[in-house]
Amino acid sequence: MTQYKVPVIPGDGIGPEIVAEGMKVIDAAGEKFGFDVDWIDYPHGADHYLETGELISEDTLKELSDYSAIYLGSIGDPRVAPGVLEKGILLAARFYFDQYINLRPIKLLEGVWTPVKDKTPTDIDFTVVRENTEDFYIGIGGRSKKGTSKEMLEVSRSLYSAKFDLDIETDSEEIAYQIGMISKEGTKRVIEYAFDLAEKRDRHVASVDKANVLSEIYGFWREEFEEVAATHPDVDTDFNYVDAITMWFVKNPDWFDVVVTPNMFGDIITDLGAMIQGGLGLAPGGNINPEGTSMFEPIHGSAPKYKGQNKVNPIATIWAGSMLIDQLGETEAGASIVSAIEQNIMENNVKTYDMGGNSKTSDVGDDIARIILEE
Amino acid sequence: MTQYKVPVIPGDGIGPEIVAEGMKVIDAAGEKFGFDVDWIDYPHGADHYLETGELISEDTLKELSDYSAIYLGSIGDPRVAPGVLEKGILLAARFYFDQYINLRPIKLLEGVWTPVKDKTPTDIDFTVVRENTEDFYIGIGGRSKKGTSKEMLEVSRSLYSAKFDLDIETDSEEIAYQIGMISKEGTKRVIEYAFDLAEKRDRHVASVDKANVLSEIYGFWREEFEEVAATHPDVDTDFNYVDAITMWFVKNPDWFDVVVTPNMFGDIITDLGAMIQGGLGLAPGGNINPEGTSMFEPIHGSAPKYKGQNKVNPIATIWAGSMLIDQLGETEAGASIVSAIEQNIMENNVKTYDMGGNSKTSDVGDDIARIILEE
Ligand SMILES: CC(C)[C@H](C(=O)O)[C@@H](O)C(=O)O
Ligand SMILES: CC(C)[C@H](C(=O)O)[C@@H](O)C(=O)O
């Protein structure tokens, strides 16, 4: 029997509850398809941080890099300032393991209610390939003190008004700034991944940017996109401004097959994507380094107010688990988990409150595990 | 009779067609409410640029600054590279006139079809106050040549992985970067505006940011927000991450009253807002400098493929016209235009293709003008 070792970081809030269901379902798939997973528990998250001061240490990350897939619940806690845990654990892992693909299927499963009108599972079935280690996520920024920002403000305003003699009072201003950066290699590899994926799907790649305004960074993105596109003449392409794509996700989701996007825009549009596929309770994601250590998680947060209530929907996490074992090579078992989720939804009698039911988190995990074993 | 002079920039694509309807309707409102508008035509846009090389000159901008409101059609043309006209004309004006408020009502009018389920005009009725002269719109960015970016990449990656001994190969990389900047004054004044507006509405201001990741720039935004909020104890507030707010716009638009947002996120979420209020054909915007020259426009683009067909919906532009005359002080006339739009929609027999009809652009303008004169 094939034996896998998979590190698990249940994390904060509802993380432990939902990850428990994911492990239960993967164990059932293992029983059925002949593999066994040895789950290795890691305590990282708010409690661990508040007790020890450790977010996630280099030693831990080094240790984790021995594995090809990590299972993550969710990170974030109201006792800790916004960003500390997210950056210190979640983003630290994405960057440390160079998980340059954030893969987010946007798929309306049969039987799921979507808040957008007149859309069926045929209309909503695409995948967002989000760049995951660059862009405005690199964490470079700062502030200038009173009086020192005059020059920067003037440079900036004068870019639009070249040589205009503006009379702007800036002496007393303080400013804050943030820098985004993308590299040629970092851009190319994620776009390549998107094209490879499109070749296994419907041969269409939509690129997202805001090259009409953030022209330096996204002009570069477009050039790299065009270079890669030229080597895949069998794939159709188009460019979309990020503002416009939010409209098309709602009105014409059927236009999309593979969507490739810089990191920050990817963050925004995949939450919208989650909504059209029925809500955050149903949206999984994979942070992927095809040659290294990947990490699978629901795209939702830690929902602190539901913690410990055995109430939230574990499907996003279970679906992320199917992506995880798929990544390990257990393709058939991975597919069986998605089918079992679909069947659970179609049977329509074991479901959590967000889907209009009143089953518990663990009931849904039990039901999906049962379906896998019975089929 | 009160006499106004209003510069008009019809612009590109469908711009001239829709602005003509807006002027027609404002003229009708003038007839009814006793004012007269002298429209002063400006040729700026793609044709003018291609013929003369001028985007918009300092002389022109200086001249325009004598007026308190400009009426703009739309800017953008496929013959010109993305961003050239948008930055050279539209953003140039926003920056030159320091139009620091971009006011975008998101209101589902009675009788309009929205693509989101179970929402009525009572649910979708809020206003986005978008900062309009800072953030990632300042136009600072650049590229580094092969080999020079190693250091920047290392600094950035090490911010997440402080002191980790990463082994990233960066020698051969080229990069592009973009800088966003917000100032204390620039942030304060737009947030103040939002609170003042909320005091005339339902006393709720939602702030949008991504302070958990772009912590420098949006941490600063949050601090300014809290400072302003403290001086308006009668107004309720909350913070929203930009990714999450795209979900709530679709699922719970009734949560919002006034939404205040940095420039780039405002660009993104107002297109989504336009969609939930029935589409771009119905979404107006005002670029406002309360003490200077403001500029009113539909939030949609120039839709080149519809140019000259007398086919597109002029309502966004007509509605923007109502905001324009409201700004001039003709409050009652402004309100009468919005009522006439609502009545045109309710009567449901003169409407363009996007609303399921087959009337022409000019028919809709005629109908709305007629309603104003007859009421
Ligand atoms: C929690 C946060 C740092 C994260 C992100 O911004 O990437 C989340 O929103 C996501 O999409 O995975
Ligand atoms: C055309 C473009 C520069 C503009 C913007 O990004 O602000 C537009 O999308 C808008 O929202 O008015």
Distance between CA atoms of residues B247 and B266, nearest Å: 15
Residue nearest (by alpha carbon) to ligand 2 atom 6: B267
Residue nearest (by alpha carbon) to ligand 1 atom 11: A267
Distance between CA atoms of residues A7 and A5, nearest Å: 7
Cβ distance B214 to A95 less than 8 Å, yes or no, reads: no
DSSP string, A283-310: -EEEEE-TTS-EEEEESS---GGGTTSS
Q: CB–CB of B93/B322 below 8 Å?
A: no
Task: Give B306-348 pLDDT, tens digit per residue.
Answer: 999 999 999 999 999 999 999 999 999 999 999 999 999 999 9
Task: Give B134-184 pLDDT, tens digit per residue.
Answer: 999 998 888 876 554 555 555 555 444 433 333 334 444 688 989 899 999
pLDDT-derived band of residue A159, with 50, 70 and 90 as boundaries?
very low
Residue nearest (by alpha carbon) to ligand 2 atom 5: B267
Residue ranges of B 326-365 with Cβ closer than 8 A to chain A: none
**How far is the centre of ligand 1, averaged over its atoms, from the C-alpha of A301 (Å)?**
8
The pTM for the full model equals: 0.94
Sheet hosting strand B204-209, strand order edge to edge = B35-41, B2-11, B69-74, B294-298, B284-288, B101-107, B125-131, B258-261, B204-209, B236-241
Q: What is the pLDDT of residue A154?
A: 55
Angle between helix A263-276 and helix A242-251 axes, rounded to 10 deg: 10
Taking CB atoms and an 8 Å cut-off, how many pairs form between chains A and B?
A: 270
A61 touching B (Cβ < 8 Å): yes
Profile chain B (375 residues) by mean pLDDT over runs of 10 residues: 97 98 98 98 98 96 97 96 94 96 98 97 98 93 64 51 38 79 94 98 98 95 98 98 98 98 98 97 98 97 96 98 98 98 96 96 98 94
Could you tell me if the CB of A50 is within 6 A of ligand 2? no
**How far is the centre of ligand 1, averaged over its atoms, from the C-alpha of A136 (Å)?**
12
Per the listing, tokens 């079992």 go with A340
B174 touching A (Cβ < 8 Å): yes
**How far is the centre of ligand 2, averaged over its atoms, from the C-alpha of B267 (Å)?**
6
DSSP string, B162-189: TT-------TT--EEEEEEEEEHHHHHH
Cβ distance B159 to A165 less than 8 Å, yes or no, reads: no
Domains and CATH numbers, chain B: 1-111+277-375 (3.40.718.10), 135-181 (no CATH)
Radius of gyration over every alpha carbon of chain A, rounded to an integer in angstroms:
22
* Residue B255 DSSP one-character state: G
- Report whether pLDDT(A142) > 90: no
* Residue A101 DSSP one-character state: E
- Work out the minimum CA distance from A185 to partner chain B, whole angstroms: 6
> Residue B266 CA: which ligand 2 atom is closest?
11
Read off the tokens for A315: 């499907």
Distance between CA atoms of residues B78 and B303, nearest Å: 10
Residue B40 CA, chain-centre distance (Å), reads: 23
Could you tell me if the CB of B316 is within 6 A of ligand 2? no
A171 touching B (Cβ < 8 Å): no
Sheet hosting strand A175-183, strand order edge to edge = A135-144, A175-183, B175-183, B135-144
User: Any idea how long chain A is?
Assistant: 375
Residue nearest (by alpha carbon) to ligand 1 atom 5: A267
Read off the tokens for A299: 């795209």
Question: Scanning every residue of chain A, which has its alpha carbon at the shortest distance from the alpha carbon of B141?
Answer: A216
User: Any idea how long chain B is?
Assistant: 375
Closest Cβ–Cβ partner in B181, B212, B244 for A82: B212
Strand partners, B116: A116
Angle between helix B242-251 and helix B263-276 axes, rounded to 10 deg: 10
- Burial of A153-175, coded b for 16+ CB within 10 Å and e otherwise, reads beebbbbbbeebebebebeebbb
* Residue B116 DSSP one-character state: B
CA angle A263, A267, A271 (to 5 degrees): 160
Q: CB–CB of A270/A45 below 8 Å?
A: no
